[in-house]
Structure 1
Amino acid sequence: MLNVYVIRHGETEWNTQKRMQGRLDSSLTEKGIKDARSLGERLKDTDFVRIISSPSTRAMETAKLVSRKNPKLIETDERLMEIHLGDWQGKVEGDIQIEYPEEFHAFWNQPELYKSLDGENFFDVKKRIADFFMELVKSPPTGNVLVVTHGVVIKALYLLCRNKPIEEIWSPPFIHGTSLTIIKMDNGKMELLLEGCTDHCR
């Protein structure tokens, strides 16, 4: 049996500005740093056989703060990166809504119809996170694994756990910065034990 502890990176400057990040980056806020340290304290007695992070700076910084006991254990996997948003990256949501009204509406209201000419769609994200987890369960087959990733990736992961379609990607819970999700993987089955918990963010 494998227990996978999945966390979203801490709050960033662009998060507070409602600016789309995608594959771009911005620094963690003071709150993001504080919450990551608090999560590290919460998980201090949990032994991880692997720590795998998105290579994005905000995810790596979060991983280091959470796993301060053994930062050398951190490895990266590009399949954990946030959805590639193409020309939307670096723009605030209000401007995107004005420049790309149909695409913006689809993104939030009809995700199965959302298309990006120079980025990814939700199906792309779901496929790569499924590939990641299929590989993860093979090595190691037991123990605790910490995964540091992004909001849309975690939402796609929930779909896999629940066997739900892309249409439901925005169903609750909301994935806050440093929120903790725990998934039990046993005999090919994925069971959500904890969803988007932020009890450490006080």
Structure 2
Amino acid sequence: MLNIYLTRHGETQWNKENRLQGSKDSELTDNGIENAIMLGKRLSNIDFNAIYSSTSERAFQTAKYITLDKDIPIYTNEDLKEIHFGEWEGKTKEEILAIKNYNIQFRNFWDNPHTYNHKPHKGEGLTVFKQRVEDAVRRVISENHNGNILIVTHAVVIRAILSFTMNISTEQMWEPPFIHGTSLTTFNWDGEQFNYKMIGDTSHFMSETKLYSG
């Protein structure tokens, strides 16, 4: 049986500023680093085959902090990168909503994702995005028939993984719980189906005030 541990990168500067990151990047904050280390301590007794990380620096650095300097191989995978938001990236929610050509699709993305049109702002379509994430997960499974692996990635990627493994429609992609930075989701693959144990758990955080959105 393969046990899969799944987490989102730690808080970044752009998270604090409520800026959309997507394929772009910003540095982890002290809070993001602290939470990654706390998750590492929570997982310190797990013998991981490997860690699979998005190629984005915020995810890769989070993976390194989680290892607590243990000798665990970290493999980067381009298909685990966050969805590409095109011309929205680097902008705040308020800045995006203030632009006439952007605001309708921005609302659709979060409120009616099944109607989202990525073309006006040169972003990545949800169908293509979800397929690349599914392909990435299938590759990880094909390389690990049993044991424990950790995937360090992004909020929308995790939603796509949940959609694939739990057969959740695009229309329902944003159903709770919210996926906080360095929260823990765990499930296993028994060769026939995925079985979930927890989604978005934050019990390793010292304080709920350290949670962030964005």
1:138 partner SS:
helix
1:120 aligns with 2:124: yes
1:198 aligns with 2:202: yes
1:111 aligns with 2:107: no
Return 5+ residue gaps in structure 2 as ranges: 207-214
The aligned residue for residue 157 of structure 1 is: 161
Q: Which structure 2 residues correspond to residues 81-96 of structure 1 after superposition, within 5 A?
A: 81-96=81-96
1:181 aligns with 2:153: no
Deviation at 1:68, TM superposition (A): 2.4
Deviation at 1:72, TM superposition (A): 5.6
TM-score, length basis structure 2: 0.91
Deviations 1:63-93, CA, capped at 9 Å, x for gaps: 0000123356111001110000000000011
Q: Which structure 2 residues correspond to residues 1-202 of structure 1 after superposition, within 5 A?
A: 1-70=1-70, 73-99=73-99, 100-117=102-119, 118-202=122-206
- CA pair 191-72 structure 1, distance change in 2 beyond 3 A: closer
Return the alpha-carbon distance in structure 1 between the equivalents of residues 156 and 144 of structure 2.
Answer: 25
Amino acid paired to 2:200: G
Q: Are the counterparts in 1 of residues 22 and 82 from structure 2 also a CA contact under 8 Å?
A: yes
Return 5+ residue gaps in structure 1 as ranges: none
Amino acid paired to 1:84: H
| Aligned length, in residue pairs | 202
Q: Are the counterparts in 2 of residues 122 and 156 from structure 1 also a CA contact under 8 Å?
A: no
TM-score, length basis structure 1: 0.96
2:98 partner SS:
helix
Deviations 1:34-88, CA, capped at 9 Å, x for gaps: 0000000000010100111001010011000001233561110011100000000
Deviation at 1:188, TM superposition (A): 3.0
Q: Are the counterparts in 1 of residues 48 and 72 from structure 2 also a CA contact under 8 Å?
A: no
1:47 partner SS:
coil
Q: Are the counterparts in 1 of residues 50 and 72 from structure 2 also a CA contact under 8 Å?
A: no
Q: Are the counterparts in 2 of residues 64 and 71 from structure 1 also a CA contact under 8 Å?
A: no
Deviation at 1:138, TM superposition (A): 1.6
